[in-house]
C-alpha cells in the first residue's frame, strides 16, 4: 500500500453543513495534514478501491496516509488524534463506551444534514 503525503477526508459538497465543516477542518489544519475532498467531484474508488459513492453518501470517510479507513464517528475520533487543535477533544472521543452514544448521534446528524444546512 502506498504512503500518501496527506490524509484524505471525503465530505459531501452538496451539503452546506458538511462543506462548512470541511472548511473548518482546513482552517485549523495549519500543518496541512488533511486534504478535504468533495466526493461528489471525484470517483471515490479512484482514491481507494474500498470507497464507494454509497459509503460516502452515508458517512464521512477518512483515509489516513498509511491506508487506515475510518468513517462517521470513528473518523471524528481519528481526526482528534491527527490534528493538534483537536487534541483537547481526544480524551472525550476515547472514553470507553462513548461509541454507544457517539455513533447514533453522528448517524442522526448525517441523516439530517440537509435539514441542518443553511445556505451561506
Q: What is the pLDDT along the chain (120 residues), one digit of tens a residue?
A: 456 789 999 999 998 888 999 999 999 999 999 999 999 999 999 999 999 999 999 999 999 999 999 999 999 999 999 999 999 999 999 999 999 999 999 999 888 888 776 654
Q: What pLDDT is recorded for position 5?
A: 86
> How far is the CA of 31 from the CAs of 15, 25, 83, 90, in angstroms?
26, 11, 8, 18
Q: For residue 78, how far is the Cα from the chain centroid?
A: 9
6 Cβ contact list (under 8 Å, min separation 6): 32, 33, 34, 35, 65
Report the C-alpha gap between 23 and 36 in whole angstroms: 8
From the list 33, 70, 77, the residue with the least C-alpha distance to 55 is 70
pLDDT value at position 1? 47
Q: What is the pTM of this model?
A: 0.88
Amino acid at each position: 500500500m502506498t504512503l500518501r503525503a496527506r490524509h484524505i477526508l471525503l465530505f459531501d459538497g452538496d451539503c452546506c453543513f458538511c462543506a462548512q465543516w470541511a472548511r473548518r477542518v482546513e482552517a485549523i489544519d495549519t500543518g496541512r495534514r488533511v486534504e478535504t475532498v468533495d466526493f461528489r467531484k471525484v470517483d471515490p474508488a479512484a482514491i481507494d478501491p474500498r470507497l464507494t459513492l454509497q459509503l460516502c453518501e452515508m458517512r464521512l470517510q477518512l483515509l489516513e496516509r498509511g491506508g487506515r479507513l475510518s468513517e462517521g464517528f470513528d473518523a471524528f475520533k481519528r481526526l482528534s488524534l491527527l490534528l493538534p487543535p483537536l487534541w483537547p477533544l481526544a480524551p472525550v472521543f476515547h472514553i470507553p463506551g462513548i461509541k454507544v452514544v457517539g455513533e447514533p448521534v453522528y448517524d442522526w446528524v448525517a441523516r439530517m444534514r440537509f435539514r441542518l444546512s443553511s445556505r451561506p
